[in-house]
Amino acid sequence: MKTIKFLSTIAFAGTLFIACSDDDNENPDPVNEEETITTMTVTLIPQGGGDTVTLTSKDLDGDGPNAPDITVSGNLSANTIYGGGVVLLNETETPAENVNEEIEGEADEHQFFLIVGGGLNATTTYEDDESDYVSAETGENFTSTNPVGIAFTLTTTDASSGTLAVTLRHEPKKPNDGTLADAGGETDITQTFDLTIQ
């Protein structure tokens, strides 16, 4: 008898306990990925006039399954010096967030690598260094002078076709010999553009 009483008490307690755990039907808040870079725009402006060439890589679903959309606005002219600039955006937020600000604030932890490949007759040169940017930590310009690569020049020679790979590394070895292999670090963004010089 005692046994039955015990068992039934427990069974009853169990029912109560299940009954209490009613869900509150509140929906979770969505998360907008903060660190995503969706869009990279490389602008190449010829010195002394001519058509500006814009290279864009856009991946609005970030780390999602869709591959980035790559566009190249036109061909480069031979024997021309282009002033280059890179702009990074996070377009999952409205208005789109300019990620350059964060890169500049941590210029000593970042570097763009502009690698010409596949027989393209062109060279790139860094046009900025860390001391051009204000450190987010100290509020003052960096004192170190390693290259960053937000601003650069691209110099073309003869007509040819090939690639320009733009890679942003986080926490690379600085200074480095300008190759990705030596720099190490983590890739924040990378895209290879097919270009033609005519």
Partner 1 sequence: MKALLLIILWAIVPMSSVAQECRDTLNGKVTDYHSKVPLENARITMVGRSLEVASDPSGNFAIPDLCPGSYQLEVSHPECKTLLIDIEVDGTTPLNIKLEHHLEELEEVKVFGDAINDKTNSAQEERLKLETLERFSTGSLGDALKELGGVSSLNTGANIVKPTIHGLNGSRVLILNDGVRMQDMEWGDEHAPNIDINSAGSVSVIKGASALQYGGDAIGGVIIMDRARIPIKDTLYGKTMISGVSNGRGGNITTELVKAFKSGWFVKGQGSFKRLGDHEAPDYVLSNTGIQEIGSTIEFGKQRFTSGWDAKYSYFNSEIAILRASHIGNVDDLIRSINNGQPEIIGPFTYDLQNPRQEVTHHLGKFRFYKRFEGLGKLNFQYDYQNNRRFEFDVRRGERGARASIDLELTTHTLSTDFKWDANEKFQLQAGLLGRYQENFANPATGVRRLIPDYEKFDFGGFALGEYQINDRLLLEGGLRYDFTRIDAKKFYQTSRWEERGYNTEFQDLIIEDLGTQLLVNPVFDFHNISGTLGGNHKFDDDSGIKVNYTLAQRAPNPSELFSDGLHHSAARIELGDLRIASEKSHKIAAAYYKDFSSWGFELEPFANWVDDFLLLEPSSVEFTVRGAFPVWEYRQTNARLLGVDAFIYVDWGKPWRTEHRFSLVKGRDNENNSPLINMPAAHLRNKIAFVKPEWKNFEVALESQYVFRQNEVPGNISVFSPEQQQNVLLEVNTPPRAYHLMGLQSKIGFPLGKHANLTTSLVVNNLLDTKYRDYLNRQRFFADDLGRNIMIQLKFNY
Which residues would be at the binding site for partner 1 (CB under 8 A)? Answer: 2-3, 6-7, 10-11, 13-14, 17-18, 21, 23, 27-35, 37-40, 57, 59-68, 92, 99, 102-103, 105-106, 117-118, 136, 163, 165, 167, 169-171, 180-181, 184-192
Least Cβ distance, residue 177 to partner 1 (angstroms): 15
- Please name the amino acid found at residue 10: I
Q: State the nearest-atom distance from the C-beta of 185 to partner 1, in Å.
A: 8
Using the minimum distance from each CB to partner 1, give the nearer residue, 132 or 171: 171
Our CB check for partner 1 shows the closer of 6 and 71 to be 6
Give the residue among 164, 152, 174 at the shortest CA–CA distance from 87. 152
Nearest to 129 by CA among 104, 111, 147, 107: 147
Dist CA 104 CA 19 (whole Å): 55
In this complex, which beta carbon is closest to partner 1, that of residue 80 or of residue 86? 86
Please state the closest distance from residue 84 (CB atom) to partner 1, in A: 18
- Under a CB-based contact definition with an 8 Å cutoff, are residues 153 and 125 in contact? yes
Closest CB to partner 1 among 11 and 49?
A: 11
Residue 57 CB, nearest distance to partner 1 (Å)?
Answer: 6
Asked whether 142 and 110 are in contact (CB, 8 A), the reply is no
Query: Please, how many CA atoms are within 13 Å of residue 139, restricted to the half-sphere of its CB?
Result: 0
**For residue 74, what are its two tokens?**
């036109």
